[in-house]
Amino acid sequence: MKLTRIRIVILFISAIIGECAALVLIFALLASAEPSASARTQDIPVGTQKENTALSDPSSTSGPSFDIKAEIQVAGRLVSIREDILIDERRDVAIVYLPSINHAHTEIINVSSDGTSVEFDVKDAYLEVYGPIASGKLSLEYKITLADNLGILSCSDGRVVLSNFLATPAVYRDGSPILTFKYDYGDPYIYNVYDYHITFKAPKGLTVFAPGKQQESVSGDVKITIFEARNLRDFSSVLLDDADIKTERIGSTIIYYIDSFRSAPYAGQAFRFAEENIGPYPHDELFIIRLPLKLNGMELSNMILLSDSCFENEQKLKGVVYHEVFHQWFYNIIGTDQINEPFFDEGLANYLAMYLSNYKPAKNAGDRFLNLALKDYRSKAEYYKHVYNDAAAYFGQLHNKLGDDFFPLLQKVYAERKFTILYFEDFLKQVEEYVGRQ
């Protein structure tokens, strides 16, 4: 389909939306804010916890294969990682994302292929590896020194938060890599989906919460926890020395509320709404974990992080939970380009949260954000205004135009594009099909 037709669709939708003043929403609460000190949630009876399950042998040549295998040793703030990565694109220069650079000091010790060390350079938030990669596999050894703060990659007061931390193969579009960078706000990440085999070695007093089949054992003072997880956009985990756990089954998915059971009504509402109007959740579990974070919430694969501050205001809690649950469909299952099109998943998740809350966005919104990449925003305030607010109004007006076809459109997109990356240009092509039928 020609780009001129796509531009016509953009102009068509923009004409519907018009130009407007800034949108002020209750969901602006999603912006970063320092949480005030608050007590943990009330004690909740322990629900059904994950049990040990039989796992495959990751070294077997006849068993299931894994795209990313890692052994992670946690010792206080120091996290030591040995990781094997399958590289799909065999090039003279392999690009590997290093997302941990955004929030913690990261030291690359060695990179090798089939036991032979290879040359590499660290560039911004990614690794350039030189020379052909034998058998398409890279082995990395690196260390992350976690911050002692309230971040999403940190260690403090009996908890270790490990999100967006594993080295990951770069995403290529039209033959070129999408390069990541260190940035103070937004989500400077983009991932394909992968199958993971992850081994944690941590003090036995810590429990690892992470997605996938799990097997746990103790050797002396060390707890060894192994996970196998498939079709994940990222592999994140939280290690806690104490937690109140409650579970809820919705359909075929178990939701684990870790110190967060007050969010259950809102998580259940959003989860059921998404399954009914977008498509069934394809994973067996979802973790919702309350932590003392600076951010109000954070979406991860099969996991949502909620800050203590959310639990101080019921409307804020509802808005953030709705937003982050919808990210499970638009980020986790259907990936987007958060580097160059940050408005896509954030605006859509925000609009769906507003819709479920019966909160109507402004009738008019500008469309300047359609041409802004993450690096183009001059401030955090500008970023949140356009990426969350104006983009939510944009999708609201698209819904108004399509009427009853809006959710069938999302269902079609979901059925055809789950476990892939959906670029906005491709989304517009599907919008065009609907507009053309009117």
Contact 103, 147 (CB under 8 A): yes
CA distance 206 to 199: 14
Q: How much is the pLDDT for 89? A: 57
What is the structure's pLDDT at 9? 43
Q: Identify the CATH number of the domain defined by range 3-33+323-437.
A: 1.10.390
Q: Which residues share a beta bridge with 111? A: 140
Is there a contact between 237 and 196 (Cβ–Cβ < 8 Å)?
no
Domain ranges, ordered by start, for the chain = 3-33+323-437, 49-243
In 3D space, the residue among 278, 288, 307 whose CA is nearest the CA of residue 407 turns out to be 278
CB-based contact 305:289 (threshold 8 Å): yes
pLDDT tens track for 13-33: 444 443 333 333 434 444 333
- State the pairing for strand pair 285-291/303-307: parallel
Q: What is the pLDDT along the chain (438 residues), one digit of tens a residue?
A: 433 444 434 444 444 443 333 333 434 444 333 333 222 233 333 344 566 766 766 555 445 589 999 999 999 999 999 999 998 656 788 999 999 999 999 999 999 998 999 999 999 999 999 977 877 899 999 999 999 999 999 999 899 999 999 999 999 999 999 999 999 999 999 999 999 999 999 999 999 999 999 999 999 999 999 999 999 999 999 999 999 999 999 999 999 999 999 999 999 999 999 999 999 999 999 999 999 999 999 999 999 999 999 999 999 999 999 999 999 999 999 999 999 999 999 999 999 999 999 998 877 778 899 999 999 999 999 999 999 999 999 999 999 989 999 999 999 999 999 999 999 999 999 889 877 765
Residue 42 is given by DSSP the state P
Would you say the CATH fold of 49-243 matches that of 3-33+323-437? Answer: no
pLDDT of residue 163: 98
Gap between the Cα atoms of 359 and 25, Å rounded? 9
Identify the CATH assignment for 49-243 out of 3.40.630.30, 2.60.40.1730, 3.50.50.60, 1.10.1270.20. 2.60.40.1730
- Do the Cβ atoms of 350 and 27 come closer than 8 Å? yes
